[in-house]
A = this chain, B = another copy of it.
Amino acid sequence: MTMLKQHAVPVGPCHLVITGGAGFLGVRLARALLAQGDVAIAGSQPKAIGRITLVDRIAPPADLMADARVAALTGDLNALLEKNDRLAPVVADDVAVVFHLAAAVSGECEADFDLGMRSNFAATLALLQACRALATKPMFVFASSLAVFGDTPGQPLPPAIEDNTLPTPQSSYGIQKFVGEQLVADFTRKGFIQGRNVRLMTVSVRPGTPNGAASSFLSGMIREPLAQVRAVCPVAPDTAVALSSPARTVQGLICAAQTSDQDWGPRTALNLPALTTTPREMVAALERVAGPAAAALIDWVPDPAIGNIVNAWPARIHAVRASGLGLLAEGSFEDIIREYIRENPYAVKLAVGQ
Which residue numbers of A lie inside 8 Å of B, CB to CB?
Answer: 113, 152-155, 164-170, 172, 175, 178-179, 182-183, 185-186, 189-190, 265-268
Contact = CB atoms under 8 A, between A and B. Distances in A.
Most chain B CB neighbours (cut-off 10 Å) among A113, A153, A170, A186: A186
Contacts of A113: 190
A183 B175 CA distance: 7
Given A153-B266, A166-B167, 4 more contacts: A113-B190, A154-B265, A168-B268, A182-B182
A272 to B, nearest CB: 17
Nearest to A170: B189
A178 B169 contact: no
B172 A190 contact: yes
Contacts of A183: 175, 179
| Copies of this polypeptide in the complex | 2
A250 B166 CA distance: 27
B175 A164 contact: no
A126 to B, nearest CB: 12
A185 to B, nearest CB: 7
Contact of A182 (B153, B178, B266): B178
Contact of A179 (B152, B179, B267): B179
Contacts of A185: 169, 175
B164 A164 contact: no
Most chain B CB neighbours (cut-off 10 Å) among A165, A175, A185, A268: A175
A182 B168 CA distance: 9
A268 B155 CA distance: 9
Contacts of A190: 113, 172
B155 A164 contact: yes
Contacts of A178: 182
A85 B199 CA distance: 42
A154 B270 CA distance: 13
Q: Which 6 A-B pairs have the closest CB atoms?
A: A175-B186, A155-B266, A154-B265, A164-B166, A166-B166, A175-B182
A59 to B, nearest CB: 33
A179 B186 CA distance: 11
A189 B312 CA distance: 15
A155 B189 contact: no
A119 to B, nearest CB: 15
Contacts of A182: 169, 175, 178-179, 182
A261 to B, nearest CB: 10
A190 B169 CA distance: 12
A71 to B, nearest CB: 31
